[in-house]
Structure 1
Amino acid sequence: MLRWKIRSWPWPVLLAMAFGVLMQPIGAAASTPPNAALLTQAEDLRTSDHPQFLRLLETLQQQASSMSPHERWQLRYLQGWQAAFRGDYAGAEGILREVIGHSGDPPLVAKASAVLMNAMASNRHYEEAFELANRLMADLPKIEDTQARFLVRLYVAQVLSYAEQYDLAANYFRDMLQALPPGETSCKPEAMLISVLYQSHKLNSASIELPRGIEACRAAGQPIFADTIWLVKASLYLDEDQPDRAIALLRQIAPRILASQNYYHTQNVQEEFAQAYWKLGDDDKARKAALAVLAVSDPGDINGTLKDAYEILYRIEKKHGRAMAALTYYEHYAAQNIGHLNDISAKTLAYDVAQQRMLAQKLETEKLSRQNKLLQLQQALAAKTIETGHLYIALLLLVLASVIFWLLRTKRSQLHFKQQARLDGLTGIFNHQHFIGEAQRALQLLERRRGDACLVFIDLDYFKQINDTHGHAVGDALLKHTVAICKQPMRANDLFGRLGGEEFGILLLGCSHEQGMVIADRVRTAIETTPMNVDGCAITFSASIGLVSTQACGYGLQLLCREADAALYRAKRSGRNRLVSHVEHNDPVKLFQVGHGGP
């Protein structure tokens, strides 16, 4: 079964293709010269009428020799925006750095810096992007132009979503919606808020945010932002197994997206078509759409959209018995999958490094400030007769600071030990005791609301053989690899713990039996199709899964564990690499998945 990766490209990246649309033009009086008027008009039309914008840009480039220096820098900025829009991030970075370094126009520098920040993130220069975000926020009080200040905050919030700081980014966007500057509409923060809510699994196709955002962008004349929201809605339809509705929506927006020639939108609309046709069983159309994704992609590009396209092609070729073609596509899929996971790790690491550097710089600044204050104090004490009293005060402050520092260290140690008591030392997920405790509390709350939940037990097949063959270090790495795979289809409120050895437990909250079966089988399929690379050797492995739902067995954790374990035992006895579900308490266990390697 295919796992629909709605974040094929992070939705903040899909918004990043509209870098310059965030930038409102600097107002021009009725008597502005022709070049200034054309520049203002071009900035207005970038995403509302992109073909007209390109024609104006060509006209402006022909008239560059008659422009003032300030107008030439405005033109250079528009050229940088267009380079980023079409996916030429390296070219965009060079142009935008020129604008920042030489234009001498603070509002234009702020706008170009914001575009550059997104271009660097899209070009996987994450560490530089996060460091620039920190600098922009530090310099925010110095930006006098209210529009530029708003845009810097907007872009910084967007960059936070690159580092998967979704809740923090969502709070930024909500704050901006409450305090829009004059002349600004709610379209941009609404669209970005929708993207981070989608990333954090807090949207469905009926969420009120979607029509509200689409209407705001339609009224503002921003079709690219509206198309981004439409693509999110199509993804939600696919997540909810409504491929027919997804196709109907995609057919409406595809002509406009393909005409805009936007790199990310073009990739994603074709990939969503491929996913929808695959779900409907139309292999020919699914294959054509997946190949269209490859056709528009840059050589050597690695992203989640390409990963999903290769997976569809692999599944189709495998289904039709074309083994060589299936193997070729599987190799591409595996490479994309590994690259995609590495990219996620790189973003997280870059964010942490940038935060640590910012903290170090802040501490250094505070150190210099303290040293300066101490020098001033010494000079003052030398000129006064109360030097001894001041020294006693300084000593008292030092002792107080030491006490506070000791208290903070003690508190930090307490928090560290508390975390160690809750988490499994190897995998970083809940240990057995904490998982059982949290599951018990969650089920009690769920019983009062009469909600549904599914308990899933996962056991890696032939794990002892892997340990014996490759050693315990590889076995430990395989357990961590399994945890990373299992986390992908899980929702934010699901509980995940290591029950012991190679056995894991997942409590899917607010999840019906049918939904639980789909998620559990996605986990099984992902484990089966995602080998671990060790010294150039791919170690393939599989898992047996047992599932029980509260619909069948109620909310007693002891009974749920017993039935889930029985279902897992049945999966093992039936040949492993299977998902088995306990349907009803008094009925026999139902075998959901038979055979190996696919539904």
Structure 2
Amino acid sequence: MSRLASRFRLWPVIVAIAWSVLAQPGYAATSITNGAAFLDQTESLRTTDHPRFVQMLAQIHQEAPRLTSREQWHLRYLDAWETMFEGDYTKSEVMLHEVIDHSGDAGLAAKASALLLTNLAANRRYEEAFALANHVTTWLPAVKDPQVRFMLLMNLSQMLDIADQTDLAIKYAHMMEDAVPPGETLCRPRSLQAAALFNAKHLTSSSPELQQAIDTCVAAGQPILANTMWLVLSSLYLDENQPAKAMALLDRIMPSIRTNHYYPHMLSAQVQRAQAYAKLGDDSNARTAALAAVAMSGPNDINEWLKDDYEVLYQVEKRQGHLADALAAYEHYVIQDKGHLNDISARTLAYAATQQHLLVQKLETDSLSKQNSILRLQQALATKAVETSRLYIALLLVVLVSIVFWLFRLKRSQLRFKQLSCLDGLTGILNHQHFVSEAARALHLLEKKSGSACLISIDLDYFKQVNDTHGHAIGDAVLQHTVTICKQHLRTSDLFGRLGGEEFGILLVDCSSDQGTAIADRIRKAIEATPVDVDGSVVSFSASFGVACTDTSGYELQRLCREADAALYRAKRTGRNRVITDAEWAFDGSLEA
């Protein structure tokens, strides 16, 4: 089981900053004497006084026939913003494209493009968002409007942070600091810097960058962004095992969170409260807070807050001895964890695919340029003697070899990227998604030839204590050491993957139940007998194993996983550092199941 995560997520920072763009202090307008000025006033009220913004938007619509062409496109842009604010991303996207393609106003088109970046990212269309971000980058040198430039820099920083390109995200946030337009403050750029540092795990509760962002946003009268930074600080307190400080901070900022009624903040604060109670040993209040967070969410919601929340419920129910409730919470946790990992993979793949596409475009452009040079050379050589023609042929061959060489490098790069996307970055074995797909394929082939296989679920015992006591660097070394030990006992035909955190899975192909149990026990003994020695720090650890085999559980991967996880859960519950098979679970664990 992965450690109890308390990290506040990056997405509320991005969305909060995006919705607060151009949020200047509003002022009333009772009549429309100047359409352009009225539209500017309306735009300034979008997040500071949203009801007034909606009222003024309806008022200007009554005057729409009298507006100039540019004013009508400005109104169209504001309509797209409000449509997106209401959650209709598809309709808003169509309206934004109309502004970009047909308004004829470069500044308005740039603002619409910046808003479209947020639209695509919020709708998880990452590849399109990153492609647009690359396109927007080419506009920056020509943008003279300070407000538009500020918006473009902000959205570029956000997109790069989503793609885990945190160094570039921080660079664009610094550029924002140097390009703050009139009426703006340093709140947003400093919030983005803190968000990128947090995403890169370079923040602590005492980091000056975080405190500077908090102080700036409080002074600027930006409660949503200030609350975002406070919640980051609370999350860091939880990471640093200071639950009392986290609880005190949550109590202090909750009135502001309730007043602004920003859903991501409300959900995150509730989950953090549950985590703090759990760390303080108050299981009753932890369970109450966690269930309240579940009640706030939709039935089909998938996000990392709910993953953390269900992990709290699982730990609490397990400590209280409520095994059925613990198992139910664990199942929800697995669903949320898988969804979160899939979203991370989608962002990473989309960013990499966009970069590959740019590489291909550059290669095609270079190839066309070379081909044009060859044509001009052919025309010149047509008037020369045979000796000069031989030189032309030689040059042509050099160019063709160069093209083939670049195409070869591109193909090799693509193949390497495909390979890396299948592997876990830390351990080098299959990641969760590809382990599941390869295991399902292997079981399907085994079923056709009536072969047998065993699925082993492995979970390191008390791994959280290793991280808390020795640090994450030692924890990573323990994970890598475990993988090395397991590989020594596996065949090339066996599948080995990291399922998440300290959890691993092994599919032993053409293996009986007795053989699978014996292999699992050999690995268990090897892990127990081989401590990790890193820079003089010797860490002894053990692991628990659950084994499920096709001769008792069938060839369906989902059922094998359930049986192996159930056996692993029993191994954990009965003392850890042991191997339990699905047959033992079915015989002796039917009551708990």
**TM band (smaller chain):** 0.5 to 0.7
> Matched residue of 1:201: which SS?
coil
Shift of 1:460: 6.7
Q: Larger deviation: 294-303 or 339-348?
A: 294-303
Q: Distance in 1 between matches of 2:334 and 2:274?
A: 19
Instruction: Give the 3 Å change call, closer, same or farther, for CA 298–116 of structure 1 in structure 2.
Output: farther
1:197 and 2:220 matched: no
Instruction: Give the 3 Å change call, closer, same or farther, for CA 409–472 of structure 1 in structure 2.
Output: closer
Aligned to 2:498: 480
Instruction: Give the 3 Å change call, closer, same or farther, for CA 426–24 of structure 1 in structure 2.
Output: closer
Aligned to 1:576: 577
1:61 and 2:58 matched: yes
Cα displacement string for residues 405-458 of structure 1 (whole angstroms, at most 9, x for unaligned residues): 8699899999x99xx9xx9x97665689xxxxxxxxxxxxxxxxxx99747645
Aligned to 1:177: 177
Aligned to 1:285: 285
Letter in 1 for 2:240: E
Q: Distance in 1 between matches of 2:183 and 2:334?
A: 48
Q: 1:352-371 to 2 correspondence within 5 Å?
A: 352-371=352-371
Aligned to 2:589: none
Cα displacement string for residues 526-572 of structure 1 (whole angstroms, at most 9, x for unaligned residues): 999xxxx935542546999xxxxxxxxxxxxxxxxxxxxxxxxxx9x
| TM-score relative to the length of structure 1 | 0.67
Contact 1:154 1:189 (C-alpha < 8 Å) held by counterparts: yes
Contact 1:310 1:333 (C-alpha < 8 Å) held by counterparts: yes
Q: Distance in 1 between matches of 2:119 and 2:154?
A: 15
Instruction: Give the 3 Å change call, closer, same or farther, for CA 205–312 of structure 1 in structure 2.
Output: same
Q: Distance in 1 between matches of 2:243 and 2:176?
A: 34
> Matched residue of 1:480: which SS?
strand
Aligned to 1:41: 41
Q: Distance in 1 between matches of 2:393 and 2:147?
A: 45
Cα displacement string for residues 151-204 of structure 1 (whole angstroms, at most 9, x for unaligned residues): 223212211121222223223323443454565432212111111111111010
Instruction: Give the 3 Å change call, closer, same or farther, for CA 61–158 of structure 1 in structure 2.
Output: same
Aligned to 1:163: 163
Aligned to 2:125: 125
Shift of 1:335: 0.9
Q: Larger deviation: 372-381 or 283-292?
A: 372-381
Q: 1:45-444 to 2 correspondence within 5 Å?
A: 45-47=45-47, 49=48, 52-67=49-64, 68=67, 69-85=69-85, 87-180=87-180, 184-375=184-375, 399=398, 429=426
Instruction: Give the 3 Å change call, closer, same or farther, for CA 408–80 of structure 1 in structure 2.
Output: closer
Q: Distance in 2 between matches of 1:387 and 1:267?
A: 79
| TM-score relative to the length of structure 2 | 0.67
Letter in 2 for 1:148: V
Contact 1:485 1:527 (C-alpha < 8 Å) held by counterparts: no
> Matched residue of 2:307: which SS?
helix
Q: Distance in 2 between matches of 1:365 and 1:407?
A: 12
Shift of 1:206: 0.4
Q: Distance in 1 between matches of 2:109 and 2:76?
A: 12
Aligned residues: 490
Shift of 1:385: 8.5
Identity of aligned residues (%): 40
Contact 1:127 1:351 (C-alpha < 8 Å) held by counterparts: yes
Q: Distance in 1 between matches of 2:473 and 2:132?
A: 44
Aligned to 1:15: 14
Letter in 1 for 2:21: L
Instruction: Give the 3 Å change call, closer, same or farther, for CA 426–323 of structure 1 in structure 2.
Output: closer
Q: Distance in 2 between matches of 1:301 and 1:399?
A: 57
Cα displacement string for residues 59-108 of structure 1 (whole angstroms, at most 9, x for unaligned residues): 32243121325444434433443454465544543443343344333222
Contact 1:482 1:527 (C-alpha < 8 Å) held by counterparts: no
Cα displacement string for residues 377-416 of structure 1 (whole angstroms, at most 9, x for unaligned residues): 666778x9999989958965974895798699899999x9
Contact 1:89 1:123 (C-alpha < 8 Å) held by counterparts: yes
> Matched residue of 2:498: which SS?
helix
> Matched residue of 2:20: which SS?
helix
Instruction: Give the 3 Å change call, closer, same or farther, for CA 246–393 of structure 1 in structure 2.
Output: farther
> Matched residue of 2:3: which SS?
coil
Letter in 2 for 1:534: L
Aligned to 1:534: 557
Cα displacement string for residues 314-357 of structure 1 (whole angstroms, at most 9, x for unaligned residues): 33333333344333332222111111111111111111112212
Q: What runs of 5+ residues in structure 1 fail to find an aligned partner?
A: 433-450, 487-499, 545-570, 579-599
Contact 2:32 2:38 (C-alpha < 8 Å) held by counterparts: no
